[in-house]
């Protein structure tokens, strides 16, 4: 059943949903199209450039991406080709207030399905490639903090404890989401 728009919230670090592995969608249905449009709305209203289904508590392989050049809604996305290297300071809507330098492929080819179950192939580079890799990580239960160095992990330890305590009380520290230019 559909969830009222107002009830939709981005899961914050500490929520077990963020560490779950998303299941592949076996048959694309209206519920998936609804989730994808809700995800897009939430991404835009949070000034994000990507969002994955586990971030709204849906453990299915779906992502939305828009870096300003158009909206991608991709079901069962997988990376079939990686080339080159890039690194960016990444933020995550589910880990507000934290910025981590993440090394990723510079170019990727992503295959998956669109919301009408048609196969799609996307060749992405630079920022777009970075966002696809970040969102596909979410489907594996992987977060930017997993890329932090040992020292980096120590530095954000207190912040993560704070977030965990807040997520248990369902408070979204919105004031902190702007700490990193890239919110994915």
Q: Is 145 a binder of Ni ion (CB under 5 A)?
A: no
- Asked if 31 and 67 count as a contact pair (C-beta separation under 8 A), the reply is no
- 135 annotated active-site: yes
Give the nearer residue to Ni ion in terms of CB position, either 10 or 28: 10
Closest to 24 (Cα-Cα) out of 105, 104, 125, 111: 111
Closest to 81 (Cα-Cα) out of 47, 125, 46: 125
Taking residues 152 to 171 in sequence order and writing x for each that binds Ni ion by CB under 5 A, - otherwise, the string is --------------------
Choosing from 135, 162, 168, 171, the catalytic residue is 135
Nearest approach in angstroms of CB 27 to Ni ion is 27
Among 61, 65, 92, 139, binds Ni ion (CB under 5 A): 92
Vertex 157: Cα angle to 101 and 46 (nearest 5): 60
Rounded CA gap, 60 and 54, in Å? 7
Rounded CA gap, 31 and 11, in Å? 19
Q: Which stretch binds Ni ion (CB under 5 A): 19-27, 57-65, 89-97, 103-111?
A: 89-97
Give the nearer residue to Ni ion in terms of CB position, either 90 or 115: 90
- If you search the block for the tokens 């507000």, which residue do you land on? 96
Rounded CA gap, 169 and 71, in Å? 32
Q: Is 184 a binder of Ni ion (CB under 5 A)?
A: yes
Rounded CA gap, 34 and 53, in Å? 11
Contacts with Ni ion by CB under 5 A: the residue count is: 2
Q: Which stretch binds Ni ion (CB under 5 A): 80-88, 112-120, 125-133, 176-184?
A: 176-184
Nearest approach in angstroms of CB 138 to Ni ion is 6
Applying CB under 5 A, which residues contact Ni ion? 92, 184
């Amino acid at each position: 059943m559909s969830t009222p728009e107002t009830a939709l919230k981005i899961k914050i670090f500490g929520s077990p949903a963020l560490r779950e592995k998303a299941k592949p969608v076996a048959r694309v249905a209206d519920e998936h199209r609804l989730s994808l449009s809700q995800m897009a709305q939430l991404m835009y209203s949070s000034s994000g450039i990507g969002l994955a289904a586990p971030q709204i508590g849906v453990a299915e392989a779906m992502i939305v991406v828009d870096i300003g050049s158009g909206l991608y809604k991709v079901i069962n996305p997988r990376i079939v080709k990686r080339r080159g290297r890039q690194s960016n300071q990444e933020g995550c809507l589910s880990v507000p207030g934290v910025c981590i330098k993440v090394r990723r492929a510079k170019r990727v080819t992503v295959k998956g399905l669109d919301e009408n179950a048609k196969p799609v192939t996307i060749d992405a580079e630079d920022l777009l490639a970075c966002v696809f890799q970040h969102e596909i990580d979410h489907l594996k239960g992987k977060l930017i903090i997993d890329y932090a160095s040992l020292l980096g992990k120590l530095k954000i330890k207190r912040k993560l404890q704070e977030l965990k305590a807040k997520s248990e009380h369902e408070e979204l520290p919105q004031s902190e989401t702007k700490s990193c230019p890239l919110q994915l």
